[in-house]
Structure 1
Amino acid sequence: MKSAEYKPPNNSNSTAATSSKTSNKRVTNYAEILAQWIVDIIALPVTFITHIFAQFVTPGSSGTKILGAMGFFLGTLLSSDGIWQTLFQGIPMFSWFETTWIGWFGWLTLPFNLFFWLSLGISALVQVMEARSLRGKRPDQAKAEFEESKQYTLSSKPTANIDLTTALWRDYKVAGMKERHAGGAIALFFWIFDLTTTFFGRNPFAYTDPGQILGCLAYNFTTMMAGEIGYTIWRLTK
C-alpha cells in the first residue's frame, strides 16, 4: 500500500488573483486622479473668477481699495460737473438731464482746460469735507479726547479780581469750543456750496413731467453722495 505523498499548495492561482486585484486598484487610482485633474481644469476659470471677486469684497484687500478709489474719483467727477457749469460757465460734461453737453470730442479737450482741473480739485475738497462731517470721529479718538479733557477742572467764576482775570477765566472755560463751532460752520458751508452748484447746474424744477423731476432730483443727490460713499469705502480699506 502506497503512502500518501505530501503536495505543496499551489499558489499560482492566488498570486494571479492578487496581481489582478492590484492592477485593477492601480487603474482605479489612476482613473480617479485623471478625473480629479479634469474637474480641476474645468473648475479653474470658475476658481479664478471667485478669487477675483473675493479680492473686491474682503476688507483691506487691493480690490476694495480699487473700488473705493474708483468710487471716489467717479463721484468727484460727477460732482465737478455742477461746479464746472456754475463757477466757470462751462458746457455740461454729461448728457443726463441736459439740453446740450460737451460731447465726446469735448472730453478729449478737457484735460487741457485749467478750469476743468480746478473744478475737479474743488469737487474733491468738497467730497472729503462732506464725508468727514458724515463720518465723525472714531470711538477711540473720541474717548481719548474725552479722557484728556477731564483733567482740566474749572473753579468758580472769580468775583474779587480784575477784569483780565475774569476774561482769562472765560477763555479757559470755552477753550476749544471756537474750533468746534468753526468746524461745524465749515462743514455747513461745503454742504450748502455743493447743494447750490449741483441744483444750479441741473434744475429739476425746470421740467414739467413729474417723472423727469424725480429723476433729476435722484440724479442730483446721487452725484452729491457718490463721492462721499467712495471716499468712505476708500478710508475703510486703509
Structure 2
Amino acid sequence: MSNPTPTTERSQPSPQNKPQRGLNEYLELLARWIVTLISLPVIFVSHIVAQFVTPGTSGYKLVGAIGFWIGTLLSTDSIWQVLFQGKPLWPWFETEWIGWFGWVQLPFNLLFWISFGISALIQVMEARTLRGKDPNQAKNEFEESKQYTLSSKPTGNIDLTMALWGDYKRAGMKERHTGGAIALFFWTLDITTTFVGRNPFRYTNPGTILACLAYNFASMMAGEIGYSIWKLTK
C-alpha cells in the first residue's frame, strides 16, 4: 500500500507580517471625504445648470417655454396699445400704465386675450423664419426635386403648351413666395406696433433712447428665440 501523501499546510502570515496602514493613508482618506463633501453642492448646482443648457433635457424645454411666453407677453403690450388703444401693461418708458389693479382685471378682458393670441401668432411665424429648414429636410426636398427633369422649352406649340410648361417649371415657387410674403407681413406688423406703441425717439436723453431701442428689440426677439429653443426639443 502506498503511503498517503502528506498534505502541505499553507503558511498563514502572522499578524506581525500584515501590512499596516500608516497615518498618511488615513489622512489622505479623510481629505478625500472632506473634498467630496465640500464639492457636493457645486456638483449638484452644475447638474442643475446642465439641465437648462443641454438640448433635449426637460430644463432646456422649460427655458424655451418660459422665453416664449415672456416674449409673447412683452410683445402683447404693443399689440394691446396700438390695435385696441389699451393702457401700457408695463411702467417702463411710459408716462402711465395699467397699474396693479388693472392687471387683476386683465384676465377677464377679451381684448387682452385677442392681443395675446395675435402676439403669439406673430412670435411663431417669425420664429419659423429664424429657424429655417432642417438640413436633412432641405437635402431630402432637393434630392426629390432632381427626379423631375424639365424638357426643353417648346417651340411652335399653342400658347396653352407654353403656359403649362411654365407651370411645370415654377412648381412649388408660389408657395415659397407666399410664405416669404406672410413672414414679411408679420415682421412688419411686429416692428410697427412695437415702435408706435413705444417710440424711443420721443425722448431727448441719448441713454434713454438707446435703452428704449434695446428694450424694443428684446421684446420683439424674446418670443421668437424662446419658441425656437422650445421647438428644437420636439
- What amino acid is the match of 2:186? F
> What residue ranges of structure 2 are gaps of 5+ in the alignment?
1-13
- Among residues 158, 163, 167, which one is paired with 1:167 in the alignment? 163
Does residue 124 in structure 1 map to residue 120 in structure 2? yes
- What amino acid is the match of 1:48? F
- What amino acid is the match of 1:63? G
Does residue 70 in structure 1 map to residue 66 in structure 2? yes
Does residue 191 in structure 1 map to residue 187 in structure 2? yes
* Equivalent pairs, count: 222
Match of 2:109 in 1: 113
Give 1 or 2: higher helix fraction. Answer: 1
1:74-123 C-alpha deviation (Å, 9 max, x unpaired): 11111111001111111100111011111122212211111111111111
1:200-211 maps to which residues of 2 (within 5 A)?
A: 200-211=196-207
TM-score by length of 2: 0.84
1:11-66 C-alpha deviation (Å, 9 max, x unpaired): xxxx78x39x87x7499877766665555444433332222112112221111111
Does residue 212 in structure 1 map to residue 208 in structure 2? yes
Match of 1:12 in 2: none
Match of 1:79 in 2: 75
1:29–1:168 CA distance, 2 compared to 1 (3 A) = same
Does residue 236 in structure 1 map to residue 226 in structure 2? no
- CA–CA separation in structure 1 for the residues paired with 2:141 and 2:171: 14
Match of 1:58 in 2: 54
> What residue ranges of structure 1 are gaps of 5+ in the alignment?
1-14
Percent same amino acid among aligned pairs? 71
State the structure with more CA Rg.
Answer: 1
TM-score by length of 1: 0.83
- Among residues 92, 100, 112, which one is paired with 1:104 in the alignment? 100
